[in-house]
Amino acid sequence: MDIVELNAWELAEKLKKGEISSRTLTEAYLERIEKIDSRLRAYITVCPEEALKQADEADERLKEDRGVTPLTGIPVALKDIFSTKGIKTTCGSKILENYIPPFDATVVERLKGAGAVILGKLNMDEFAMGSSTENSAFFPTLNPWDPERVPGGSSGGSAAAVSASECAISIGTDTGGSIRQPAALCGVVGLKPTYGLVSRYGMIAFASSLDQAGPMARCVKDCAITLSLIAGRDAKDSTSLHAPIHDYQSYLDGNIKGMKIGIPEEYFIEGLHPDVDKAVKEAIKVLEGLGAELVDVRLPHTEYAVSVYYLVATSEASSNLARYDGVKYGLRIDEGGGLLDMYRLTRDRGFGAEVKRRIMLGTYSLSAGYYEAYYRKASQVRTLIKQDFENAFKVCDVIVTPTSPTPAFRLGERLADPLTMYLSDIFTISCNLAGIPGISLPCGFTEEGLPVGLQFLGRFLDETSILRAAYAFEQATEWHKKRPPVEKFSEGD
């Protein structure tokens, strides 16, 4: 196996023993990116100079055994939604195409503090609105398993880069499924923590009551390790929680005997791809074989989740995106027609079609006369969805579901019909509305060889249980060891 394909925790052991240096490792990842990314297109920006400098610093730190963490010297990459000091941060949008932040997001600061090496910034749907990465203002990213298919979204670059071993770990964000759905479609692990566990400071806002950052990696342990290092109260984000941060990795023992796993019938619906259905049901049998106790649970308000989400998320987006006006930062198009004309031209040319659609929807549902009927109503149903989970967790410890109703779809297939695209997130959205944690990990392949994802949902702040369940399943199966045929993306093939 190529060094770039190893799990981050394995690389960390080699770094610690001095078997490899962070510089060699970073060079290996940069070579991989050079070789395949002109076709795969997971990266918007690659930062070789900064990365090599950070690698040399990490090597010093390792040599002196000074504050070494499990991420010291490990090459990671970030969704282009995280502000990075001195490095272009586009959020997948023309309106921020040339924006260079003067500060680091808290997540970036913590990764750097842990000694991680930042390889670059990954492609995404514009302002994280989408499920395929086709809404990127720059280019779509391809699925490493099949170049004719999407990697999912909106953290499609983050999922594809991990899957194709263009970084050891990536960081994504999840407002309605954007970590878990692309993780499922690319065959990697993706964790959305409890709302407020990871600071949102410096993470470009989409829907502030739903947005949450989290790790994406090739195994559960790497996600656990990363979470321990990026989680925690941050005075710069007033919604960040005063919650105890665990050493999540220490809970991964592979033992789920007696764990109560809830199965919600609302997630096994018509329209579920037969191969996904089959893989998930087989996965549930594996869990049972490991000694878990299966219980039927009901989440009766699931059918409203997509509608509620598209009212809450668009309302918050319309408010958050008001700041892009050509005055403060980012694009400005001024053709001499006065201030209003400058606003209009900047927003018209700076935003893509999906972002405009959401701003209009959100502005409408917040406007006088409609607020009560749409936004207020949606917020009330959101509470019911949250209560569904509270009730279900009275009789189970975690809930298991498919992550996405279908495997990776073809490029262009859902672009003409926004509703079909919105339904890609039918199984991931409720978790954000309730604020609870969720994880997706590989649980099989379709007949066409496309990865299928299994999702665990947990109680508020109970990351430990979903990580334990996911780890036990992973250790009992081989799915996470499969790597995509990246040779297909090499230049000249």
CB 76 within 8 Å of CB 82: no
Q: Which of 75, 92, 177, 405 binds ligand GLN (CB under 6 A)?
A: 177
Strands 438-445 and 189-192: antiparallel
Answer yes or no whether residue 118 interacts with ligand GLN by CB under 6 A: no
Q: Strand (E) positions, 68-111? A: 75-79
| Active-site annotation holder among 93, 131, 154, 424 | 154
Answer yes or no whether residue 175 interacts with ligand GLN by CB under 6 A: yes
Answer yes or no whether residue 193 interacts with ligand GLN by CB under 6 A: no
Query: CB neighbours of 83 closer than 8 A, spacing ≥ 6?
Result: 89, 101, 103, 104, 105, 108, 202, 203, 204
Answer yes or no whether residue 130 interacts with ligand GLN by CB under 6 A: yes
Structure tokens at 144: 């490493």
Cis omega (within 30 of 0) for bond into 154: yes
Only segment of 125-133, 255-263, 264-272, 336-344 that touches ligand GLN (CB under 6 A): 125-133
Build a one-symbol-per-residue string for 196-225: x at contacts with ligand GLN by CB under 6 A, - elsewhere.
----------x-------------------
Closer CB to ligand GLN, 172 or 326, in the complex: 172
Closer CB to ligand GLN, 286 or 423, in the complex: 423
Tell me the closest approach of the beta carbon of residue 36 to ligand GLN, in angstroms.
Answer: 26
Which residue type sits at 96?
L
| Active-site annotation holder among 21, 79, 83, 132 | 79
What angle, rounded to 10 degrees, do the helices at 274-289 and 463-476 form?
Answer: 100
Only segment of 112-120, 175-183, 321-329, 334-342 that touches ligand GLN (CB under 6 A): 175-183
Closer CB to ligand GLN, 104 or 425, in the complex: 425
Tell me the closest approach of the beta carbon of residue 393 to ligand GLN, in angstroms.
Answer: 23
Residue burial 210-224, b: 16+ Cβ < 10 Å; e: rest:
bbbbbbbbbbbbbbb
CA pair distance 296, 290, nearest whole angstrom: 18
Residue 228 is among the residues annotated as catalytic for this protein = no
> 401 forms bridges with which residues in the sheet?
455
Answer yes or no whether residue 158 interacts with ligand GLN by CB under 6 A: no
Closer CB to ligand GLN, 62 or 311, in the complex: 311
Q: Which of 59, 166, 316, 425 binds ligand GLN (CB under 6 A)?
A: 425
Answer yes or no whether residue 134 interacts with ligand GLN by CB under 6 A: no
Answer yes or no whether residue 313 interacts with ligand GLN by CB under 6 A: yes
Tell me the closest approach of the beta carbon of residue 372 to ligand GLN, in angstroms.
Answer: 24
Q: Which of 154, 158, 315, 404 binds ligand GLN (CB under 6 A)?
A: 154
Closer CB to ligand GLN, 7 or 133, in the complex: 133
CB 143 within 8 Å of CB 150: yes
Only segment of 124-132, 142-150, 337-345, 375-383 that touches ligand GLN (CB under 6 A): 124-132
Which residue type sits at 194?
T
> 444 forms bridges with which residues in the sheet?
452
Q: Which residue has the tokens 């510089």?
A: 23
CA pair distance 9, 222, nearest whole angstrom: 6
CB-side exposure of 320: number of CA atoms within 13 Å?
19
Answer yes or no whether residue 184 interacts with ligand GLN by CB under 6 A: no
- Which residue blocks in 65-127 are alpha helix, DSSP H? 106-113
Closer CB to ligand GLN, 130 or 326, in the complex: 130
Structure tokens at 401: 């579901």
Residue 178 is among the residues annotated as catalytic for this protein = yes
Answer yes or no whether residue 126 interacts with ligand GLN by CB under 6 A: no
| Active-site annotation holder among 178, 365, 430, 465 | 178
Q: Strand order in 75-79's β-sheet? A: 43-46, 117-122, 75-79, 169-173, 213-217, 189-192, 438-445, 451-458, 398-402, 260-264, 293-297
Residue burial 408-427, b: 16+ Cβ < 10 Å; e: rest:
bbebebbbeeeeebbbbbbb
Q: Which of 11, 114, 118, 128 binds ligand GLN (CB under 6 A)?
A: 128
Closer CB to ligand GLN, 206 or 393, in the complex: 206
- Which residue blocks in 115-261 are alpha helix, DSSP H? 156-163, 180-186, 220-230
* 77 phi/psi in degrees, rounded to 5: -140, 155
Tell me the closest approach of the beta carbon of residue 204 to ligand GLN, in angstroms.
Answer: 11
Answer yes or no whether residue 129 interacts with ligand GLN by CB under 6 A: yes
Closer CB to ligand GLN, 154 or 318, in the complex: 154
Residues that bind ligand GLN (CB under 6 A): 128-131, 154, 174-178, 206, 313, 425
Catalytic residues: 79, 154, 178
